[in-house]
Amino acid sequence: MYLKHLILRNFRNHKETDFHFSALVNLIYGNNGQGKTSVLEAIYFLSTGRSFRTHNLSDLIREGQQYFYLEAHFIKDELPQKLQIYYDETTKRIQYNHTNYPKLANIIGILPSILSHPNDLALIIGMPNERRRFLDIYLSQADPLYLHHLSRYYKAMKQRNYALRSQEIQTLSAWEHIMLPSALYLIDKRAELSSYLLDPAAEWLSLLSNKKDLLDIHYQSSLTKKDSSLLLKWEKNRHKDMLLKATTLGPHRDDLLFLLSGKQAKNFSSEGQKRSLIYALKLAQWNWMQKKIGYSPLLCIDDFGMQLDPKRQENLIFCFTRFKQVFICSANVLKSKLPDTTRSFWMERGAIL
């Protein structure tokens, strides 16, 4: 799979911008605030139905305009395909080839991508929900059943929480039995992905750090995967949960632990080590997703090389030779370091110059 043509209309500071991409490395560069990151945001939006910078779709509309429109032409399964999204604050129109979709969630998995951007630092130093989101986004793109169970679990848990607040003890068991199969599925798939990521992420990190950093990853679940244990723990915790008016155990409370040379990366690693770890995790996710879906997802990197020393930047560039289509945003001109086949786009005020 590769993205051939991307059209942005009134998206962020892009009035009318058309990109014709290389099937290999694409560099989008220019000064700060010129619309580079918005290109990756558009690709991510077409992949997931959401932005990685805002929860408010109106923020994506160009100032002074009433709508935004995205259109992607790509090759998938050796066939030309098209995905279109229109939004005008009251109406969403989503079309994949000749099929209309009612919700943005329906497009997940159509144009899979892996994104690395500066805010990913929260994956290492942030709260556990950042690490759960890291797992959920990519599992949902590769496994529609995971997205189903994710939605089902949170809807049932919401009802259980309502019952806790309302002191409706008699309904708790029913909601717990609905939560159970979805909780098991989420825990199993998250643990499976975490286990898979370890070897390739450790390999990528070793390459980036010249074998200086040794990685270990642990998925920390608040529950075991045995049915009886799940139900018993929820039942045992009902009094506590009723006092707190919330479900205190479940996959919504799980976490990932990253260790570098035996120490928690969150507390004992440098900024460069943290950034290297993030890149290693993203590259390992690309490996995992390619294996799961059977073709190459897009790889997008914003603010390339941020807080990496020159040697680690050079090592990261070398990694690109192992991937298919790559999109890089940078405020620094990297053309001399990138492969000769790289296609470059200089951005200025939301336009390609």
Instruction: List binding-site positions for ATP.
Output: 30-37
Q: Which residues are CB-neighbours of 319 under 8 A, at least 6 positions away?
A: 204, 207, 208, 279, 283
CB atoms within 10 A of CB 2: 15
Using an 8 Å Cβ cutoff, are 65 and 34 in contact? no
| 288: phi then psi, degrees, rounded to nearest 5 | -65, -45
Q: Residue positions in the annotated binding site?
A: 30-37
Tokens (6 digits) for 13:
């500071």
Q: Are strands 255-260 and 99-101 parallel, antiparallel or unpaired?
A: unpaired
75 strand-pairing partners: 2, 80
**Spatial distance between the Cα atoms of 186 and 206, rounded to a whole number of angstroms:** 30
**Spatial distance between the Cα atoms of 314 and 335, rounded to a whole number of angstroms:** 12
Using an 8 Å Cβ cutoff, are 61 and 68 in contact? yes
